[in-house]
Amino acid sequence: MTPPDLATELDRAAALVAAAHRIVVLTGAGISHESGVPTFRGPGGLWREHRPEELATPEAFANDPRLVWSWYGWRAGLVAACEPNAAHLALARLAAARAGDVRIVTQNVDGLHDRAADALSAGTATAARAAACPLELHGSLLRRRCTRCGWHATVPDPADARTVEDGGALPACHACGALARPDVVWFGETLDPAVLDAAWSATERADLCLVVGTSALVHPAASLPAAARRAGAAVIEVNPEPTPVTPLATVSLRCTATVGVPELVGV
């Protein structure tokens, strides 16, 4: 049974979603937790003795590309075995049902929002699928790019990097053969300006900002909810724990993504 206070808050949040004209959704690792993907800072967020912040840097890759590729190979294998959950699917349905008025912005590199969009459209390139495609602020585990030339591509089997750990070849550029790297944003690197601009513009236009499963500690993504609030938008947070977004939230739902999101989205 849903506790009554959560039920009341869910009703308030659902009414805000129903009344909103333009919605920006910011998601983080917490939305994929119930799919089986560990968060960065919660229990299970460490890989062996390494913190993600020590591996996700250009310096770590320059010092030990095999170690960093082993971590990405492990992550790609883990994500390949996961499925989008009820929260990813509900957001994809919302974005598709209100195409053009809902923008999903994610910090996740796991591709699960994209796979939820695929599930809507059975893999075909429909307008609904396009509307449900997220802006991936931190890149994607499914893409690689060259460390030397401009090559970048979605790879058919990103989990093939698992062999790196057992001494397999490091992933190489398909154009020039140089070392490839994951097409993700590492600490100390800047975000793709076009993706970031699109996220800001969706935030500035929004009259509702829905924030799901992020500790809201990593900027610039973490700045989006406050910017939406300043522009007059309501803010709904879905997170079992309080975060820096909580004090500015119109409604804080202390529940997991799969409990909160499908209910408040209502599609």
Which stretches of the chain bind ligand OAD, using CB under 6 A? 28-30, 33-34, 39-42, 45, 52, 56, 107, 138, 185, 187, 213-215, 217-218, 238-241, 243, 256-257
Whose Cβ is closer to ligand OAD: residue 32's or residue 129's?
A: 32
Which residue in 138, 152, 174, 219 is the catalytic one? 138
CB atoms near residue 8 (< 10 Å)? 12
- Beta-carbon-side half-sphere exposure of residue 241 (alpha carbons within 13 Å): 10
Whose Cβ is closer to ligand OAD: residue 103's or residue 129's?
A: 103
CB atoms near residue 245 (< 10 Å)? 23
What is the DSSP annotation of 25-38?
A: EEE-THHHHTTTPP
Whose Cβ is closer to ligand OAD: residue 168's or residue 240's?
A: 240
**DSSP 8-state assignment for residue 163:** G
Q: Which residue is nearest to ligand OAD (CB)?
A: 30
Pull the structure tokens for residue 179: 């070392």
In whole angstroms, the minimum distance from the beta carbon of 127 to ligand OAD comes to: 28
Whose Cβ is closer to ligand OAD: residue 156's or residue 188's?
A: 188
* Distance separating alpha carbons of residues 200 and 228, to the nearest angstrom: 9
In whole angstroms, the minimum distance from the beta carbon of 154 to ligand OAD comes to: 19
33 is known as an active-site residue: no
In whole angstroms, the minimum distance from the beta carbon of 176 to ligand OAD comes to: 26
> What pairs with residue 139 in β-bridges?
184
In whole angstroms, the minimum distance from the beta carbon of 226 to ligand OAD comes to: 15
In whole angstroms, the minimum distance from the beta carbon of 34 to ligand OAD comes to: 5
Q: Are strands 152-154 and 139-146 parallel, antiparallel or unpaired?
A: antiparallel
Whose Cβ is closer to ligand OAD: residue 70's or residue 243's?
A: 243
User: CA-CA distances (angstroms) from residue 55 to 67, 155, 245?
Assistant: 8, 21, 27
* Distance separating alpha carbons of residues 14 and 190, to the nearest angstrom: 35
Which residues have CB under 8 Å from 162's CB, separation 6+? Answer: 73, 74, 76, 77
Name the residues annotated as catalytic: 138
